[in-house]
Amino acid sequence: MASPKNKRQDGLVTMQALLEAAIAELETHGETGFDMEAVLAHTGVARSSLYHHFDNKAGLIVAAEIEIIRSSLHEENVMQRKMFEQCTSFKELFDIVALFMRAESPDRGVDVRRSRTRLMTAALHNKKVQEAIVEAQQTESRYYAESLVIAQKNGVVRKDIDTLAVSYWIQGQFFGRILLDLGNETTDIGAQWIETSLIALEAVLSPEHQK
């Protein structure tokens, strides 16, 4: 007879297998084309196990989207920390950030923002989703704030800012772009939004504006 510890480990293995297959299915077919039967066939997991761990298809999709966002947030944070560690001046840092913002595909940005918006909406009605989002958001916000502290110590960004507050403000800029998405604004307006955001970012972070 399996011990409780072994049962928990088996359950975690099953959940991870389902999550990985669900993420692959989402990234390939999107939410509307998501095929739960394909996930079950790929993993060999029983339907009853899927329902036990995720309640239903919608629960599995939400769990997969949370994991995608958690992973993407951390990957972005790790990349930006390396940038903060390696840059020797604010101008160098700002030029790299501006390059990435101007070069990013608008379509990719829309998909990511819509996915995060769906999860924020789901969090209003699902305590488990809310707890998962809060945990991921707090962890990554503090990670980014620590990266800003590194940049402060290196003299790259101003030292009179609250790094955690700025971390949340920068994320707020990301979500603010959703208004443009909803309004189906022109590419030109989107480009101007980026330039306006860069002006604000420069004012918030540049040591030249330190009090």
Confidence of residue 105 (pLDDT cuts 50, 70, 90): low
What average pLDDT does this structure show over 65-87? Answer: 89
Comparing 132 with 33, which gets the higher pLDDT?
33
How many angstroms separate the CA atoms of 4 and 131, rounded?
26
Better-scored residue on pLDDT, 72 or 43: 43
Helix axes 127-153, 163-176, angle to 10 degrees: 120
pLDDT confidence of 178, banded at 50, 70, 90? confident
Dihedral angle, C-alpha 138, 180, 62, 9, nearest 10 °: -40
Across the range 116-127, mean pLDDT stands at 76
Q: What is the pLDDT of residue 155?
A: 95
| Predicted confidence (pLDDT) at residue 132 exceeds the cutoff of 70 | yes
Among 3-7, 18-22, 41-45, 203-207, which is the least confidently predicted range?
Answer: 3-7
The predicted pLDDT at position 1 comes to: 44
Q: Tell me the mean pLDDT in the region 73-96.
A: 94
DSSP secondary structure letter of residue 199: H
pLDDT band at 200 (very low <50, low <70, confident <90, very high): very high
Report the b/e string of 150-179 with b at 16+ CB within 10 A. ebbeeebbbeebebbebbeebbeeeeebbe
- pTM score, two decimals? 0.78
CA distances from 179 to 114, 146, 196 (A): 11, 29, 15
pLDDT at 185: 67
Average pLDDT over every residue of 65-76: 85
The per-residue pLDDT for 119 is 76
Higher pLDDT, 112 or 33: 33
- Assess whether pLDDT exceeds 80 at residue 116: no
Query: What is residue 106's predicted lDDT score, i.e. its pLDDT?
Result: 60
Mean pLDDT for the chain overall: 85
The Cα-based distances of 24 to 9, 34, 157 in angstroms read 23, 10, 39
pLDDT at 12: 79
